[in-house]
Amino acid sequence: MEFKVISFYKYIEINNPEELSARLRELCNQLGILGRILISKEGINGAVSGKIVSIEEFKRRINEFFEINFREQEFKENAYHKLVIRIRNQIVNFGIDVDLDKKGKYIESEELKKMLDEKEDFVLLDTRNKHEIKVGRFRNAVDLGINSFREFPKNISKLDKDKKIVMYCTGGVRCEKASAFLNENGFKDVNQLQGGIIDYTNKFNEHFEGSCFVFDDRLTYENSEPITRCMHCDKLSGDYINCNNLDCDELFICCKDCEIKMKKTCCLECKDSGRQRKVKKILNIVGKVINYYKKPKIALVELDKDIKVNSKLGFIGKTTDEFSQEIFELKDFYGKNIKEANKGELVTFPVDFNVRKNDKLFLI
């Protein structure tokens, strides 16, 4: 695997979120890292991806700001298609303020597995939303049936305050607030899974069933046999996709065969809709756009394969419609005219249409 996805959070007082945001944006751009980072005066919550060497440097540099733990997964490609850094009032929207000094005790993945193996008497509480739980969950965990984390405080009345509670979420950031809220409201023994589902499934397959919902382009990653079924053919599948009808965009479970057959749509009406995201098959990727200079219409490209003058390339991206371009002029990073360029080099050349950072190039 060439890429790595990491998630992280820390509740810590940040006096100048704007300054931290600017510094992290500069760092991510330098390293070619994409993802989503939320910053507030209460802390930081993020998930990013990039080449392994870049991610390792990112981890080293962010620990210069404050010590932080990371949940890590290797992946075959970049799991995000853009970089978003936002300043928010809260890094997780809970709706009310809580005293985070009252957070629950941490339980490591090894301890939770032992408790589950030995069938210890406790309440295993899932703090995630319904659509996340649907596709994967710990066996026999309590589902509060919430659509958003803001609903959590209103749905705890069914819980026994005297029972031992171990709560979990994807990476831990929601449990930290939820556990503090339970402690503030009289629960006697509140615990939270350190590192969340990601840490647990990195170590163990037992007890967690199905796939884990994640907040990047993957949408899910598989841990065990699926527990959900394709909405079209009823075959077992743990894959979420968004409907390709731009006026629908529903999140639904779909197997790979029906994804192709139905063109990534949730129903026949959406399949026949005129407002479709294009289903694109890209072969022979040769590089990606690093920057685009709008006035001269020049693309700066990082190459994954060799190209030469008169090559015919296709461009495609999340918001860039597919088009082809013959390369009549090719320059190296220093502006020298060249006839051909090799893998790993940065090159520039004119393009007829606007392109965007991270658009892919492929040979035609």
Active site residue 258: no
User: Which residues are 44's β-sheet partners?
Assistant: 10, 39
- Measured in residues, the chain has a length of 364
Contact of 68 with 58, CB cutoff 8 Å: no
Q: How far apart are CA 325 and CA 313, in angstroms?
A: 5
Secondary structure element (H or E) that encloses residue 351, with its range: none
Q: How far apart are CA 169 and CA 196, in angstroms?
A: 5
What token pair was written down for 356? 């965007």
Q: Which residue's structure tokens are 């303020």?
A: 97
Choose, from 169, 254, 258, 270, the residue flagged as catalytic. 169
Cα three-residue angle 38-43-47, rounded to 5 degrees: 40
Contact of 342 with 332, CB cutoff 8 Å: no
Alpha helix stretches (DSSP H) within the chain: 17-31, 52-62, 109-117, 130-135, 173-184, 196-203, 256-261, 268-271
Residues with active-site annotation: 169
